[in-house]
Structure 1
Amino acid sequence: MKRNKSFTKIPFYFVATPIGNLSEFSNRAIDILNNVDFIACEDTRVTGVLLSYYKISKPLISLFEHNEKEKALEIIKQIQKGQTGAYVSDAGYPLISDPGAILVNELLSNDIYISVINGPSALLPALIGSGISTSSFYFRGFLPPKLNLSFDEESCLRTRKETLIFYESPHRIKKTMSYLYDILGDRKVTLARELTKINEEYLYGTLKEFLTFDYKTIKGEIVIVVEGSTISNEDIIFENSKKQVSLLLKENYALKEACKIVSLLNNISKNALYRAFLTDK
């Protein structure tokens, strides 16, 4: 067990940066970046624009997904020599669908204290403006490149009562919305894009409605906010069982046999499953 009071010694800072509107950068964040000895960042070109805007000049260390372990060790050596530093990602909070997790753990393993400086995030504005429940939510971030979640992962998303939140890029948004409809069914959904910028926009509808939407009009990074499950646990088990039967049918099982296997696994009615498939036909 550890108990670190961040400011009993100078910590290493993780600083949230603007997601579009540069004027959202806090005075505290600016002061910290002005006073540390070096800044580690996801992309030196992107961070260079931010630092130039605020007239901050510091040595930069490029730390991104594919060199994070190596650069984390380099940063630790700098700190052990008495240097102070901070890490920023391109936009929003480090580690939230961005690099930084390896760096955090390496710092903690070397008894280096950490402090996180609050700032902009796409996640919360999208949720608050979505018109969908904010009482609890599940943040999934970006789905896999091939949109190929396992059956268990799809079932988990399908059954969650919490509001679901995803990040997506404009070139893949159409496929992702279709995939979400396939695994979740029709639900309320809000797309939030270009947050904090002049073209900020919220699009409200259902997953089914968005199947025919013209996505050529969508530019910029997107947050997808989807209504959580509103069906009963019994209905969730039944729907998951139907999907399991469908998988067995693809493996050339007979319908009656597939229904029998799944009914035994999930303790549900074999006949009800069988009738559901006959009705669907």
Structure 2
Amino acid sequence: MPLNLPIDDPEKSKVQGCLYIVSTPIGNRDDITLRALKVLEEVDLIAAEDTRKTGRLLAFYKINNRLTSYHEYNEAESTARLIKKIDSGLSIALVSNAGTPSVSDPGYRLIKEAVAGGIKIIPVPGVSAAVTALSVSGLPTDSFVFAGFLSKKKGKRLGQLGKFTSELRTMIFYESNKRIERFLGEIIETLGDRYGVLAREMTKRHEEFIRGPISDIFNSIKKRTVVKGECTLIVSGCVEKEKVAPETVTDEIRRRLKVSDESISQLSKDIAVKFGVSKKSVYDDAVRMKKELLKSD
């Protein structure tokens, strides 16, 4: 049965097709789902942000299907063309270069027009760089803010960052490898030296997670002659307005002392930034607990 034939209304599907929003891997090709492969093989047309990149993915899985270009520079004209094809009965899969279409990628306009036209839209979920980085960040995940890419214009970008100064939830930003050093500096300037995690080249061979105060991440990046890959930055919320239970800080100190050989000074700095507490109090507690751990050994 063709993909665009819904069981409940086979007659309508002969007149109008449907739109599949298909997530693709952000790096490792093995992360694609079986359902995504099935859809990409069976739809009438695949609308891709970059037909060359998607073409290589299809070739790897031996999928031979028609491709058409759909990116930010032809989004307006291509949307009308694709909607017309769906109205004529074709099923179309929308894919971006990596991850989930329309999440900081082209697709919003097409999906909006499809909704307005009563077209059936079917999500084929998979990888998202934001959720992937958040899941291993060690920061609160029960509530978070996805900011994506901020403006390329400095004045507007700083204004956008300024709106997050009192944000209590974990924040997720995307940034280009060419601009990440500058962006880290602006985070410190507007939000303060928060605790963060910079995820780079996720799921790829050179996958890297840099954790700690944003100032430490900034210094790490500044020492490099080149930074490769797209970057996802996870930043802790404003903890100053939250009351952190003393036992929470104590448990974190004890955990870090057991699993890490970092200096007490560095450990204290990280935890103080993460929970918004005094570095001196953390340092004093860490020294005391380390002595206790040594005695117990």
| Band of TM-score, shorter chain | 0.7 to 0.9
Tell me the number of residue pairs that the alignment of Structure 1 and Structure 2 aligns: 228
- Hey, what does 1:228 align to over in structure 2? 237
**Do the aligned partners of 2:177 and 2:230 also contact (CA within 8 Å) in 1?**
yes
Q: Does the CA-based 8 Å contact 2:210-2:217 persist in structure 1? A: no
Cα–Cα, structure 1 residues 179 and 58, in superposed 2: closer, same or farther, change >3 Å? same
Answering whether residue 195 of structure 2 is matched by residue 177 of structure 1, we say no
Measure the CA separation in 2 of the matches of 1:216 and 1:134. Answer: 33
Are residues 1:70 and 2:99 paired?
no
Amino acid at match of 2:230: E
The alignment status of 1:218 with 2:263, answered yes or no, reads no
Which TM-score applies when normalising by structure 1? 0.77
Report what 2:155 is aligned to. 148
Q: Amino acid of the residue matched to residue 145 of structure 2?
A: Y
Percent identity (aligned): 39
* Superposition map of 1:242-253 within 5 A: none
What is the identity, as a one-letter code, of the residue corresponding to 1:225? I
Other structure's SS at 1:190 match: strand
**Structural RMSD (CA):** 1.8
1:37 aligns with 2:44: yes
Q: Secondary structure at the match of 2:210?
A: strand
Structure 2 letter corresponding to 1:64: H
5 Å matches for 1:199-218?
Answer: 199-213=206-220, 214-216=223-225, 218=227
Aligned position for 1:114: 121
Matched, 1:86 2:100: no
The equivalent residue for 1:270 is none
CA contact (8 A) 1:188 1:206 kept: yes
Structure 2: distance between partners of 1:22 and 1:129: 20
Residues in 1 aligned to 2:235 and 2:125: alpha-carbon distance in whole angstroms = 26
Secondary structure at 1:159 match in 2: coil
* Amino acid of the structure 2 residue aligned with 1:124: V
Stretches of structure 2 lacking an aligned partner (at least 5 in a row) = 1-5, 243-297
Q: Residue in 1 aligned with 2:64?
A: 57
Residue 231 of structure 2 aligns with an amino acid whose one-letter code is I
Residues 22 and 94, structure 2, Cα contact 8 Å, conserved in 1: yes
Rounded to whole Å, the distance in 2 between the matches of 1:51 and 1:211 is: 38
Q: Is the 8 A contact 2:28 2:203 kept in 1?
A: yes
Query: CA 1:93–1:131 in structure 2 vs 1: closer, same or farther (change >3 Å)?
Result: same
Residue in structure 2 matched with residue 13 of structure 1 by the alignment: 20
CA distance in 1, matches of 2:125, 2:141: 20
Output the amino acid matched with 1:145.
K
- Deviation of 1:217 (Å): 5.5
Provide TM-score, normalisation by structure 2: 0.73
Q: What are the superposed Cα offsets for residues 129-185 of structure 1, whole Å, 9 maximum, x if unpaired?
A: 111111211011112113333676333211110001101121111000001110000
